[in-house]
């Protein structure tokens, strides 16, 4: 599989030099690779990306975690404190469209690779930094992991059951949201470069991104003067919109407006509630949520989940099972949308990973990905290309050729 070229995508020709480790940065460059970019991952000799040591392992030292986030990339090991290796990085940057790093702010300066230095030497280069707190502000140098920004950014205070211990979102949304905004910033800078001919710096902070995904919570705080609190599975402004137990397991129902509530009520055989003024409007349903939830759950507990889901689906009421990962990836819709693709770990073990959620009519959506690279796997090829004037091209050069 590794000899196949990456499928052509909208970002084909884009050359990305990737100094990132663990998650926020590697997630961003994986999205770019899925869109067709060439991503050269520059890793520390010896150990490489820390994520190579993260479980689950398919064999000793063969991380499924690393493989999930780094498929389709190339790897070269460079010691950036050694001048010969630094020269290789600089040769790569001279050809590249984009540099991505997620070091603690100040690290690139110590390496002599600050944005100001790189901008002078490589004016078309887009420099993207994903960090915990950003490259400005009093806490810029403070260290962060996902959990820290989920906590400091407010999301953790709104997630969980009421009066329970603090609850983290079960995926690293602190890193992943920052990875997505880093991609958005890089692509915006690429579009800008078409006009200006110049690169720029993209500075994304994980903490900032947590603020950016709080939805209406900031407005709610301002209007009520109260901090939003965890609501279990409920929505703060829509009722019924939560999980309910059935005879065998729980399901979710999301009746987002009056028509859907009427359809839900009738599908569940609760027509008796139609005359109840407590449930006549979104506002009154919100105010009487506990009583309404009890009425619905009492009914749902009389039959299994599949019975109710079939009735709700027939009535067009948004609803569904609460799937584990096994059930989620086995869904026919997920299969039909190619959202589970084949790859291999660096050690050669087969592994399925999430597909590309950006479906484009102009490009194929491959059902496999090149494996995540072994550390330094692409050194010889990369050095040979650097030695040959016309072998490694950036998107900027391709654009110039096309003019």
Task: Report 160-179 residues binding a copy of itself (CB under 8 A).
Answer: 160-161, 164-173, 176-178
Does 209 engage in binding with a copy of itself (CB under 8 A)? yes
Among candidate residues 135, 235, 307, 363, the one labeled active-site is 235
Nearer to a copy of itself, 94 or 313 (CB): 313
Minimum separation from the CB atom of position 350 to a copy of itself (A): 9
- The answer to whether 108 touches 25, Cβ cutoff 8 Å, is no
| Window 12 to 31, contacts with a copy of itself (CB under 8 A) | 23, 31
Nearest alpha carbon to residue 19 among 83, 88, 117, 120:
88
Minimum separation from the CB atom of position 177 to a copy of itself (A): 8
Does 397 engage in binding with a copy of itself (CB under 8 A)? no
CA dist 79 and 58 (Å) reads: 28
Nearer to a copy of itself, 5 or 55 (CB): 55
Q: How far is CA 229 from CA 147, 264, 383, in A?
A: 18, 27, 55
Does 56 engage in binding with a copy of itself (CB under 8 A)? yes
| Window 113 to 132, contacts with a copy of itself (CB under 8 A) | 115, 132
Secondary structure string (H, E, C) spanning 116-138: HHHHHHCCCCEEEEEECCCCCCC
Does 152 engage in binding with a copy of itself (CB under 8 A)? yes
Does 99 engage in binding with a copy of itself (CB under 8 A)? no
| Window 236 to 265, contacts with a copy of itself (CB under 8 A) | 236-238, 241-243, 245, 250-252, 254, 256-257
Does 43 engage in binding with a copy of itself (CB under 8 A)? no
DSSP 298-326: HHHTTS-HHHHHHHHHHTT--EEE---HH
Does 304 engage in binding with a copy of itself (CB under 8 A)? no
Nearest alpha carbon to residue 80 among 103, 63, 97:
103
- The answer to whether 179 touches 169, Cβ cutoff 8 Å, is no
Q: Applying CB under 8 A, which of residues 320, 368, 374, 379 lies at the interface with a copy of itself?
A: 320
Quote the tokens at residue 355: 């597909």
Query: Using N-to-C axis directions, what is the helix angle for 24-34 and 173-196, rounded to 10°?
Result: 50
- ∠58-62-64 over CA atoms, to 5°? 60
Q: Applying CB under 8 A, which of residues 138, 275, 277, 389 lies at the interface with a copy of itself?
A: 138
Does 357 engage in binding with a copy of itself (CB under 8 A)? yes
Nearer to a copy of itself, 45 or 228 (CB): 228
Examine the residue annotation and report whether 235 is marked as an active-site residue of this protein.
yes
Minimum separation from the CB atom of position 13 to a copy of itself (A): 8
Taking only Cα atoms into account, the Rg of the chain, rounded to an integer number of angstroms, comes to 25
If one counts every other C-beta atom within 10 angstroms of the C-beta of residue 139, the result is 13
Does 9 engage in binding with a copy of itself (CB under 8 A)? yes
Query: How many chain residues are in contact with a copy of itself, going by CB under 8 A?
Result: 161
> First CA to last CA across the chain, in angstroms?
35
Q: Applying CB under 8 A, which of residues 87, 117, 218, 291 lies at the interface with a copy of itself?
A: 218
Does 142 engage in binding with a copy of itself (CB under 8 A)? yes
Q: Applying CB under 8 A, which of residues 76, 98, 204, 375 lies at the interface with a copy of itself?
A: 204
Does 381 engage in binding with a copy of itself (CB under 8 A)? no
Minimum separation from the CB atom of position 329 to a copy of itself (A): 6
Tokens 């059930």 sit on residue: 327
Question: Pairing relation of β-strands 250-254 and 319-321?
Answer: antiparallel
Q: Applying CB under 8 A, which of residues 355, 366, 371, 373 lies at the interface with a copy of itself?
A: 355
Does 286 engage in binding with a copy of itself (CB under 8 A)? yes
Quote the tokens at residue 387: 């030695």
Torsion of CA 105, 108, 112, 115, to 10 degrees: -80
Nearer to a copy of itself, 15 or 351 (CB): 351
- Residues marked active site are found at 235
């Amino acid at each position: 599989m590794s000899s196949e070229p990456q499928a052509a995508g909208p970002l084909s020709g884009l050359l990305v030099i990737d100094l990132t480790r663990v998650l926020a940065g590697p997630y961003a460059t994986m999205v770019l690779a899925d869109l067709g970019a060439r991503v050269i991952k520059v890793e520390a000799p010896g150990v490489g990306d820390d994520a190579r040591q993260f479980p689950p392992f398919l064999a000793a030292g063969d991380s499924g975690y690393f493989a999930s986030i780094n498929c389709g990339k190339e790897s070269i090991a460079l010691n950036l404190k050694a001048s010969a290796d630094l020269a290789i990085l600089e040769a790569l940057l001279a050809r590249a469209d984009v540099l991505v790093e997620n070091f603690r702010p100040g690290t690139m300066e110590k390496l002599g690779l600050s944005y100001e230095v790189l901008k002078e030497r490589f004016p078309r280069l887009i420099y993207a930094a994903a960090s915990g707190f950003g490259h400005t502000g009093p806490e810029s140098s403070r260290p962060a992991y996902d959990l820290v920004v989920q906590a400091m950014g407010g999301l953790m205070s709104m997630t969980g059951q009421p009066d329970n211990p603090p609850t983290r979102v079960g995926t690293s949304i602190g890193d992943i949201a920052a990875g997505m905004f880093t991609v958005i910033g890089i692509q915006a800078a690429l579009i800008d470069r078409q006009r200006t001919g110049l690169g720029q710096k993209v500075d994304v902070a994980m903490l900032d991104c947590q603020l950016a995904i709080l939805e209406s919570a900031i407005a709610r705080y301002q209007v009520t003067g109260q901090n939003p609190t965890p609501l279990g599975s409920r929505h703060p402004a829509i009722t019924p919109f939560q999980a309910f137990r059935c005879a065998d397991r729980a399901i979710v129902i999301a009746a987002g407006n009056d028509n859907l509530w009427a359809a839900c009520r009738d599908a569940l055989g609760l027509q008796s509630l139609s005359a109840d003024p407590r449930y006549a409007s979104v506002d009154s349903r919100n105010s009487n949520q506990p009583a309404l939830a009890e009425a619905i759950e009492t009914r749902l507990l009389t039959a299994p989940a599949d019975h109710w889901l079939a009735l709700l689906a027939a009535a067009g009421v948004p609803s569904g099972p609460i799937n584990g990962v096994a059930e989620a990836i086995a869904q026919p819709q997920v299969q039909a949308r190619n959202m589970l693709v084949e790859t291999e770990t660096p050690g050669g073990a087969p592994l399925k990973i999430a597909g590309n959620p950006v479906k484009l009519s102009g490009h194929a959506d491959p059902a496999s990905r090149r494996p995540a690279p072994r550390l330094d796997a692409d050194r010889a090829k990369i050095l040979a290309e650097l030695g040959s004037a016309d072998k490694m091209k950036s998107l900027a050069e391709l654009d110039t050729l096309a003019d």
